[in-house]
Amino acid sequence: MTSRARLVLEDVRAAAKELPRLQAGPHDEPTIRRRWIAVMALLRAVGHVLKEVDYKSSDALARAINQKWADPKPIIYTEFIDKYRHAVIKRYEQPHVDFDKIMGTLYPRLNVEYDGRVGVSVNYLIEEAVRYWEDYLDDIDHRAACCKLGTQT
């Protein structure tokens, strides 16, 4: 089972809850920056842990991971998970933080580009990325179980 990658995914969920939302704080840019870095590093770490740790747990799981890894990656992976992980880890670039004024209170908003659009909700993209990894890991576990049973998916 993809247990270690799923542990990383749980940490993504927890870290994402710490990113500013309309009702959350603190709203200072250094805190937002650190939380963004944590989420993006963890989102990409799901795949790394899958290939480096879970891969070694069984031959059936290793075969399933190799099969799935060969599939084309969707836009949520290429234009969000991988793109912003590279920006953060390799160049230490973060999205610009704007502040929206709602009923007299300032709330932070991270500006990211996704699929040619600027200003896409970071919280929405993180939720999509988490769903992508959930489906991805579920498919691998299903393939590995079928391999163990000698059936095809």
**pLDDT, tens digit, 9 for 90 and up, residues 75-103:** 999 999 999 999 888 998 877 676 666 55
Contact 50, 5 (CB under 8 A): yes
Stronger pLDDT, 32 or 67, i.e. the higher one: 67
More confident residue, 146 or 103: 146
d(CA 64, CA 68): 6
- The secondary structure of the chain in percent helix, strand, coil, rounded to multiples of 5, reads 65, 10, 25
More confident residue, 26 or 59: 59
Give the residue from 67, 70, 14 showing the smallest Cα distance to 38: 14
Angle between helices 122-149 and 3-17 (to 10 degrees): 170
Domain ranges of the chain: 3-149
